[in-house]
């Protein structure tokens, strides 16, 4: 059975407000998923929501709802959010689903039987807001805890612990030998630095059910529920277990897939790319590999760590009122403009800064004047001068298009999305300059230049077609619109179609329609909530 190319995102806290940060991560993963599909791979793209924990239990109670009813409502919003972003997800996992819980319990039973867990007393200061015990390092110089931790109380509990200490040496070695494991390299170096300079403390992986009932019960001790992070990380393998992944099913000691009956089992694990934000690197680059190793499972090939978005130069916060609402931006400017801006503006790794001005300016310069103008004027001229009929093939821009295509493909394979958009932008600029240089509107006035006009029109129309193929992972509906205007059926969703000469002479194109209408007049604020 073939293994699918498996991509995952972090699973969002169901009770959070979907904002540009969540949207960015999901769009980046979607572009990678579409790119790999377009390159001919069988892909599985998973996203999801993280539903357990104290905050959910408390907020549900405050709203007079059961936690499950509360989560059901919110999960529906997150599902709609994924659709709004035009994500080509294959599944959306919820940590309250039986398929997840069954596999989490199987994993816990395995770890328990393998001697990876032990029980011990814990005494410490607990932040309810952060759902974590604080350490001495969290104290401020005056001995108090930062108000960002919310209410901090001293607790004594007996809990289950997951042994981490004994794993430190091999993990350091693994990171050293696999520089591709945590990307970009700066993040991998941070993780290595942390592991070399600190002794890992075993991880408390339970909460007494008396204090927190909204979690997955331990299969061997129902007085406890599973720590929300331990439960959440496992989603990346519980989903494969639901689809009958042979490696995962075997390692969890399951007898059958935990999901609904499936026609054909899928092999997904190990994940090829796991996309996460910089704040959750420790969970994914330290705890997660150790959990997998303890379960006898291979590690994911790559953890791709992105930076955080600020808005107008500041951390996004409700009180400042600068939270960028992606839904509002999409309703006003279209989903592809949003997908384009976040990917073009920020490379994967550093932090980014959303500005309304930056968004408007890229929209006009690169979408309206760039690809929009190129497609519009190429097809309008073909219509005006040749009734929309594609002339004889000519190869003047073929080499430039081939160069851009090869470079873009290499960049997509290397997860370099911003550079790929720069490459594609280069081809758009070249084609726009070609119009200015060859001046088809002048050629059209001189009957002696009819052949030259044919040549120019072929080069432009064919370049538009190739651009549709290259842009498809980034802006799928725009790419389809370009195809439709070219009179082609279906979606430009296969990279195979980048070979020059796809448009055959005599083919009739359709009417051009503006892809990204200019919106220069009224000063609107695209993202900021009023």
Interface residues with ligand MSP (CB under 6 A) are: 10-13, 16, 21-22, 24-25, 50, 232-233, 276-277, 279-280, 308-309, 316
Q: Decide whether 17 or 361 has the Cβ nearer to ligand MSP.
A: 17
Q: By the 8 A CB rule, do 465 and 398 touch?
A: no
b/e 378-416 (16+ beta carbons within 10 angstroms → b) = bbebbbebbebebbebbeebbebbeebbebbbebbeebb
Category of 425 on φ-ψ map: left (φ > 0), alpha (ψ -120 to 50) or beta = alpha
- We find the least distance from the C-beta atom of residue 217 to ligand MSP, in angstroms, to be 20
- We find the least distance from the C-beta atom of residue 303 to ligand MSP, in angstroms, to be 11
- We find the least distance from the C-beta atom of residue 20 to ligand MSP, in angstroms, to be 7
Q: Decide whether 279 or 446 has the Cβ nearer to ligand MSP.
A: 279
- We find the least distance from the C-beta atom of residue 235 to ligand MSP, in angstroms, to be 6
Using CA atoms, how far apart are residues 398 and 503, in angstroms rounded to an integer? Answer: 13
- We find the least distance from the C-beta atom of residue 196 to ligand MSP, in angstroms, to be 24
Using CA atoms, how far apart are residues 278 and 306, in angstroms rounded to an integer? Answer: 6
Among 440, 486, 443, 455, which Cα is nearest to 391's?
455
Q: Decide whether 349 or 426 has the Cβ nearer to ligand MSP.
A: 349
Q: Which residues contact 527 (CB under 8 A, 6 or more apart)?
A: 20, 311, 324, 325, 326, 328, 329, 354, 356, 359
Q: Decide whether 160 or 309 has the Cβ nearer to ligand MSP.
A: 309
Phi/psi of residue 97, each to 5°? -75, 140
Q: Decide whether 280 or 327 has the Cβ nearer to ligand MSP.
A: 280
Dihedral (CA of 315, 316, 321, 326) sign: positive
Q: Decide whether 48 or 372 has the Cβ nearer to ligand MSP.
A: 48
- We find the least distance from the C-beta atom of residue 412 to ligand MSP, in angstroms, to be 21
**DSSP H or E stretch at residue 445:** none
Q: Decide whether 130 or 395 has the Cβ nearer to ligand MSP.
A: 130
- We find the least distance from the C-beta atom of residue 28 to ligand MSP, in angstroms, to be 10
Q: Which residue sits closest to ligand MSP, CB atoms considered?
A: 277
Q: Decide whether 277 or 388 has the Cβ nearer to ligand MSP.
A: 277
Q: By the 8 A CB rule, do 268 and 247 touch?
A: no
The tokens describing 391, both together, are: 């002339």
- We find the least distance from the C-beta atom of residue 198 to ligand MSP, in angstroms, to be 22
Give burial (CB, 10 Å; 0-12/13-18/19+) of 165.
exposed
Q: Which residues contact 408 (CB under 8 A, 6 or more apart)?
A: 420, 423, 424, 470
């Amino acid at each position: 059975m073939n293994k699918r190319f498996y991509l995952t995102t972090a699973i969002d806290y169901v009770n959070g407000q979907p904002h540009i940060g969540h949207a960015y991560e999901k769009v980046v993963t979607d572009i990678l998923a579409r790119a790999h599909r377009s390159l001919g791979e069988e892909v599985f793209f998973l996203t999801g929501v993280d539903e357990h924990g104290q905050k959910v239990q408390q907020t549900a109670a405050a709203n007079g709802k059961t936690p499950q009813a509360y989560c059901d409502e919110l999960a529906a919003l997150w599902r709609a959010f994924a659709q709004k972003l035009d994500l080509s997800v294959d599944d959306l996992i919820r940590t309250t689903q039986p398929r997840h819980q069954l596999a989490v319990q199987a994993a816990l039973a395995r770890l328990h039987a393998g001697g990876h867990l032990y029980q011990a007393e814990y005494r410490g200061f607990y932040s309810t807001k952060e759902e974590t015990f604080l350490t001495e390092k969290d104290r401020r110089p005056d001995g108090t805890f930062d108000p960002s931790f919310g209410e901090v109380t001293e607790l004594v509990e007996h809990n289950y612990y997951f042994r981490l200490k004994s794993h430190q040496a091999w993990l350091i070695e693994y990171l050293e030998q696999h520089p591709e494991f945590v990307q970009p390299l700066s993040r991998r170096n941070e993780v290595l630095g942390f592991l070399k300079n600190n002794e890992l403390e075993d991880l408390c992986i339970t909460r007494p059910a008396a204090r927190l009932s909204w979690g997955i019960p331990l299969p061997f001790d129902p007085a406890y529920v599973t720590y929300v992070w331990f439960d959440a990380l496992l989603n990346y393998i519980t989903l494969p277990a639901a689809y009958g992944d042979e490696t995962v099913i075997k390692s969890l000691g399951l007898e059958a897939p935990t999901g609904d009956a499936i026609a054909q089992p899928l092999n997904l694990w190990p994940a090829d790319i796991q996309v996460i934000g910089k704040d959750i690197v420790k969970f994914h680059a330290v705890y997660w590999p150790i959990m997998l190793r303890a379960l006898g499972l291979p590690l994911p090939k790559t953890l791709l760590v992105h930076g955080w978005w600020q808005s107008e130069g500041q951390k996004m916060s409700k009180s400042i009122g600068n939270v960028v609402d992606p839904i509002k931006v999409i309703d006003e400017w279209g989903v592809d403009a949003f997908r384009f801006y976040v990917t073009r503006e920020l490379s994967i790794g550093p932090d980014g800064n959303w500005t309304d001005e930056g968004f408007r300016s890229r929209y006009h310069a690169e979408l309206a004047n760039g690809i929009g103008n190129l497609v519009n004027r190429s097809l309008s001229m073909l219509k005006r001068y040749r009734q929309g009929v594609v002339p004889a093939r000519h190869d003047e821009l073929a080499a430039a298009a081939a160069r851009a295509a090869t470079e873009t493909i290499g960049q997509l394979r290397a997860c370099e999305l911003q550079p790929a958009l720069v490459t594609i932008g280069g081809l758009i600029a070249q084609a726009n300059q070609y119009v200015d240089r060859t001046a088809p509107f002048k050629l059209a006035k001189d009957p002696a230049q009819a052949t030259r006009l044919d040549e120019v029109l072929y080069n432009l129309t064919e370049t538009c077609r190739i651009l549709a193929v290259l842009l498809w992972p980034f802006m799928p509906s725009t790419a389809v619109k370009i195809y439709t205007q070219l009179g082609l059926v279906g979606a430009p969703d296969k990279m195979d179609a980048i070979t020059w000469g796809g448009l055959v002479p005599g083919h009739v194109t359709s009417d051009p329609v503006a892809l990204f209408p200019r919106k220069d007049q009224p000063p609107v604020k695209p993202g900021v909530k009023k």
